[in-house]
Amino acid sequence: MDNTTEQHLHIVSFDIPWPANYGGVIDVFYKIIALAQKGIKIHLHCFEYGREAAPELEKYCFSVNYYKRDVSKTHLFKNLPYIVSSRNSEEMINNLLRDHYPILLEGLHTCLLMNDIRFSSRRIIVRAHNIEHDYYYHLAQAETDILKKYYFHNEARKLRRFENILNRAQGIVAISRKDEKYFNAHYQNVVFIPAFHPHVNVTSKSGRGDYVLYHGNLSVGENKNAVKFLLEEVFNDLKVPFVIAGLNPSAAIERMVETMPHVSLVANPSDEQLFELVNNAQLNVSVTFQATGLKLKLLNTLYNGRFCLVNDKMLSGSTLDELCILANDAVSMKTQIKRLYRRSFSEKEKERRRKKLDMVYHNGQNVDRLIALIFS
């Protein structure tokens, strides 16, 4: 076989990207599939902590390697950010040095190897999943536990300093327009390629549903705050059926829901259940108080749901403004929910959505741009 035509690529992932059930790993997993479909031979390197080795990945990768992430507390006292310092593997370094294939680093988390002089002549591209110091600063703002708050603040400070390592990358791939603007102001060779995702067709139903849905990981501070806001300030006196769905809801959320007869909670729904909930809702509401990263659940609701009501922080450089209805406070949210609850979702709206999503979020087009960047 003539190996000269083969294109090999190392991908270093901050976590095992299967199951693809949260923001960052969704982008990694569906990027791997898109690259494999274009014939790229992927050598995947994953840091392992709390997730099982995944045979599913072997369907798409030439090789899959796992390295234990060292989550010991000693890393908290180092000058490096904890998320970086705890992902350091000599075994991985040796595996990467066996050839000269380009390397795609997933997240600032995996960028420590650019400090190693042995990689100075290597083609390295970084997928920036966030402006990390910004993200950690917002986590600190949302956190009530004093020790966690201190950790997030400290990590934000270290990440801001560590980020300069991106000067050594041959390219930076930003996940949103907002992030692209930030990285462009500080570094060279920045391109915007939005998140890779599982959606192929817009499956939104025409007609009407009979409830409003909010979904998200309910153990995350940012989402807890969003639910609290919706329950206390929007659905407190708006008697429209409201469903909250997501992973690991807190006891506080459960207690609040119990006191509100028009609100129901679906804890830990399966993928099929969540699809049905999104697909059948009249209105999917997505609120965040943290304008960082791309919210993949927004894509999920646009591909599979009817009307999508958001606040401006949810859009955060996603270029999806024209497909959503905007409301930034409780009063305007109530007004929009009442208005949209009576409206029928039309085939015309579905078609407009399909065209816009195909233009920006088409995995096939975006992977071609990524391949051009990596192998140029």
Mean pLDDT of 169-177: 95
| Full-model pTM | 0.89
Environment class of residue 376 by beta-carbon count within 10 Å: exposed (0-12), middle (13-18) or buried (19+)? exposed
Percent of the chain with pLDDT over 70: 98
* SS3 label, residue 341: helix
pLDDT given at position 1 = 39
What gap in Å lies between CA 61 and CA 270, rounded to an integer?
26
**pLDDT per residue over 282-328, tens digit each?**
999 999 887 765 678 899 999 999 999 999 999 877 778 899 999 99
Interior CA angle at 203 toward 197 and 207, to 5°?
A: 145
pLDDT given at position 359 = 92
Mean pLDDT of 350-374: 95
Using 50, 70 and 90 to split pLDDT, how confident is the model at 226?
very high
pLDDT given at position 154 = 97
Closest CA to 319 of 295, 342, 344, 289: 295
CA dist list (Å): 297 to 25, 274, 278: 13, 11, 10
Residue 353, token pair as written in the block: 């959505």
Domains present along the chain, CATH in parentheses? 3-197 (3.40.50.2000), 212-359 (3.40.50.2000)
pLDDT given at position 294 = 60
| CB 346 within 8 Å of CB 328 | no
pLDDT given at position 22 = 82
**pLDDT per residue over 176-202, tens digit each?**
899 999 999 999 999 999 999 999 999
Sheet with 8-13, strands from edge to edge, namely 63-68, 41-48, 8-13, 103-106, 124-128, 171-174, 190-192
Residue 5 has pLDDT above 90, yes or no: no
Percent of the chain with pLDDT over 90: 86
Kindly report which listed range (36-45, 60-69, 157-166, 174-183) carries the lowest average pLDDT score: 174-183
Residue 2 has pLDDT above 50, yes or no: no
Mean pLDDT of the chain: 94
Using 50, 70 and 90 to split pLDDT, how confident is the model at 124?
very high
